[in-house]
Amino acid sequence: MPKDKIAKLNQLLVEQYKTQVMFTSSAMQDYKSFAVGKRQDILKLIVKQAEKGALLKPDGKGNRCEGALHDFAKIKSKSLNLRIIYKPTKPETGIVRMDIIAIGPRDDLQVYKMAIQRLADYEE
C-alpha cells in the first residue's frame, strides 16, 4: 500500500469520521499478502468501522477482544473470511486512532494468535 494511499485514506477518515488509521509493519505485511481486490475490501471494512465508531463499546461500536487482547477490538467479515485486530485510542486531539496490528483468516483463531505474538512489538 503506497504511502500516498494511506495518506488519502486517513484524510478521508479524519474529515468525515474523526478517525486515523495506522498499520504496524507486521499488519502492513499482512495487508500486502492479499490480492489487490481483497485489499480494497479490507480498506472498506476499516472505513465502515470508522463510520460506525472505532472506539470500544459503549463509547463506540468496536467489539472487544478477550484475554491478552482485552484492550483491542476486532472487525470480522464472514463473507471475506477474515478478521482485523486493532487498538482504538482517543488522544486529546479528539481524533480516534485505529492501530491495526493483525489482518488474517478467521480459521481456528489464527489471527488472534498472530496478534498476541505481536503485542510486545506493538507496546514498544
Number of domains within the chain: 1
What is the Cα–Cα distance from 81 to 107, expressed in whole angstroms?
Answer: 8
Say yes or no to pLDDT of 1 above 50.
no
| Domain of residue 50, residue span | 3-123
**pLDDT tens figures, 38-77:** 999 999 999 999 999 999 999 999 999 999 999 999 999 9
Q: 42: left (phi > 0), else alpha (psi -120 to 50), else beta?
A: alpha
**CATH number of the domain encompassing residue 40:** 3.30.2310.20
Mean of pLDDT over the chain: 91
Tell me the whole-structure pTM to 2 decimals: 0.91
pLDDT cut 90: percent of the chain above it = 75
